[in-house]
Amino acid sequence: MNAAEVRLSCRRGELAGPTAGLARGHAQANLVVLPRESAYDFLLFCLRNPRPCPVLEVTDAGSPEPRELAPGADLRTDLPRYRVFRRGDLVDEPASIEGYWRDDLVSFLLGCSFTFEAALLAAGIPVRHLELGSNVPMYTTREACRPAGPFVAPLVVSMRPLRPAQAIAAVEITSRFPRSHGAPVHLGDPEALGIADLARPDFGDAVPIADGEIPVFWACGVTTQLAVAAARPEIAITHAPGCMFVADAVD
Amino acid sequence: MNAAEVRLSCRRGELAGPTAGLARGHAQANLVVLPRESAYDFLLFCLRNPRPCPVLEVTDAGSPEPRELAPGADLRTDLPRYRVFRRGDLVDEPASIEGYWRDDLVSFLLGCSFTFEAALLAAGIPVRHLELGSNVPMYTTREACRPAGPFVAPLVVSMRPLRPAQAIAAVEITSRFPRSHGAPVHLGDPEALGIADLARPDFGDAVPIADGEIPVFWACGVTTQLAVAAARPEIAITHAPGCMFVADAVD
């Protein structure tokens, strides 16, 4: 399936699961939908924390069309599944958000690690959680993001174990993808980030670290979700975990 | 003078002229101050047009302190001179904007071409208007920026004549400075941008183009000023031409 076919499949209700590996070569994006009155502070939060929150596109209020990433697409129907939050509480996980749509809703599309992971794989650098078929391990750090209005969050990082030479190549490669979290934020000692135990991630699944490997940490988009949860906006809609927006734009 | 001394000199009313060449090695920035109600659309305009409008920092509403670029500085007094616009009309050119300050004003600091020009000079690439001691020639193009709410503008470009090998090196160098307009947007035929006559710039001063040189065009911060003029916000305050904010942050 190409990107448009993935979106059509979501729109028809045929695809309701994760998008990893679909429409290879096309960028996938996190979705955050907020009322216009919360949009400025959220945009400022993203701008002040570009590593965890790389903004790919912001739609006009009321428009569900991401004109830059996929002209003609409809963000209300073209993802496999959504999560709807009222004042921070999860209230629904629908396959379409047409029933929730309002003229004051603004959609943010944010870069996702799939892009840089594809580049790592293409360079022959193994990605442990992909080898294991599990979710990437993610950790809440003690580093605070720069706040913006009610949007506050600690930096959340994802971790991939690599040998030192692989880690160096991974820095070179991922630094070329600033819209996909960019270069790592740390490598080596997890304690420096306030992570007590790599075997107990805050999100996702633990992965083994082999002898001679070091943990390498990238800023993670889950940071955004914690910021939205902290702000408790009247309504917020996101993609369901792993159920991303598949763009026409290429990686 | 270092950056803090330049700012103090402005604050004391001793420096009221252009900042070009002062506190070498420190980033200089364009200033745009808008009411909070216009700030979201303006931030979105900048985000949608990052080449002409690279955002370095956005202050919290009411705070005149650019905490990232120069902690402790005061944007109300620390520039040599300002321009105050009411509904798009120039109404004052004061040396301080303390009398205009309000709790709902948001300050945007935007990257400026001084940073990449310093990098060009350091690499031995001549910059014609600096050799001549004149202002860079700027042209309104027929390319439209992506609009955001009431902020609409054509792309404005600045032009520097270079020999082809210099132009190639200039692309390599300036592409490393995305927060200072980044790589050129065009080189060669001015007609491709809708520029009829290079000898008649829309802003700044014309410069001679020698045999064997081609014009090289970069996105220009004046784009922002046209967008603000088009939006006609209730109040807008900018730096006076050439009278930039000098940051602690280095180029």
- CATH number where B33 lies: 3.40.1640.10
**Residue of chain B nearest A37, judged by CA positions:** B40
Residue range(s) defining the domain that contains residue B243:
3-111+232-250
With CB atoms and an 8 Å threshold, state whether A43 touches B39.
no
Q: Indicate if A85 and A129 belong to the same structural domain.
A: no
Give residue B191's identity as a one-letter amino acid code.
Answer: E
B216 plus B243 within the same structural domain: no
Nearest chain A alpha carbon to B60: A148
Could you give the 3-state DSSP secondary structure of residue B17? coil
Residue A99: predicted pLDDT: 97
pLDDT higher than threshold 90 for residue B15: yes
Q: Is the pLDDT of residue A251 over 90?
A: no
Asked if residue A118 and residue A106 are part of one domain, the reply reads no
| Pair (A104, A34) in one structural domain | yes
Return all residues near B171 (Cβ < 8 A) that are at least 6 apart.
Answer: B183, B184, B187
Phi, psi of A156 (to 5 degrees): -100, 135
- B36 and B122 belong to one structural domain: no
Do the interacting molecules here have an ipTM over 0.90?
no
Same domain, yes or no: B106 and B120: no
Q: To the nearest whole angstrom, how far is the Cα of A147 from the nearest Cα of chain B?
A: 10
Helix (H) or strand (E) holding A89: strand A89-92
Q: Which of residues 22-81 of A touch B (CB under 8 A)?
A: 36, 39-40, 43-44, 47-48, 55, 58, 60
- Distance CA(A137)–CA(B194), nearest Å, equals 52
Per-residue model confidence (pLDDT) at position B205: 94
A106 and A120 in a common domain? no
Determine whether the interchain pair B44/A55 forms a contact, defined as Cβ–Cβ distance below 8 Å.
Answer: no
Note the pLDDT of residue B92. Answer: 98
Closest-CA residue in chain A for B178? A178
Residues B148 and B79 placed together within one structural domain of the fold: no
Would you say residue B21 has pLDDT above 90? no
Are both B98 and B143 inside the same structural domain?
no
Backbone φ and ψ of A130, nearest 5°: -70, -40
Chain A residues within an 8 Å CB radius of B36: 40
A186 phi-psi bin (left φ>0, alpha ψ -120 to 50, beta other): beta
Domains held by chain A: number: 2
* Predicted pLDDT of residue A20: 87
Cβ distance of A58 and B47 shorter than 8 Å: yes
pTM score of the predicted model = 0.89
Identify the sign of the CA torsion B139, B135, B107, B22.
Answer: positive
Sign of CA dihedral A33, A36, A42, A43: positive
Q: Which of B43, B44, B68 to mutate to test the interface with A (most CBs of A within 10 A)?
A: B44
What local confidence, expressed as pLDDT, does residue A138 receive? 95
The domain that contains A120 carries what CATH number?
3.30.2040.10
What band does A21 get if pLDDT is binned at 50, 70 and 90? confident
Both tokens assigned to B136:
């860079």
CA torsion angle for A59, A64, A66, A71 (degrees, to 10)? -140
Please give the interface size between A and B, counted as residue pairs whose CB atoms are below 8 Å apart. 23
Long-range pairs, B208-213, Cβ under 8 A, ≥24 = B208/B128, B208/B161, B209/B161, B210/B161, B212/B163, B212/B164, B213/B161, B213/B162, B213/B163
Name the residue with tokens 């174990």.
A161
Q: Using one digit for the tens of pLDDT, what is the confidence trace for A176-185?
A: 999 999 999 9
* B47–A44 CB contact, under 8 Å: no
Same domain, B106 and B142: no
Both B103 and B124 in one domain: the answer is no
Is residue A189 domain-shared with residue A148, that is, in the same domain?
yes
Residue of B123, B122, B134, B120 whose CA lies nearest to B242: B134
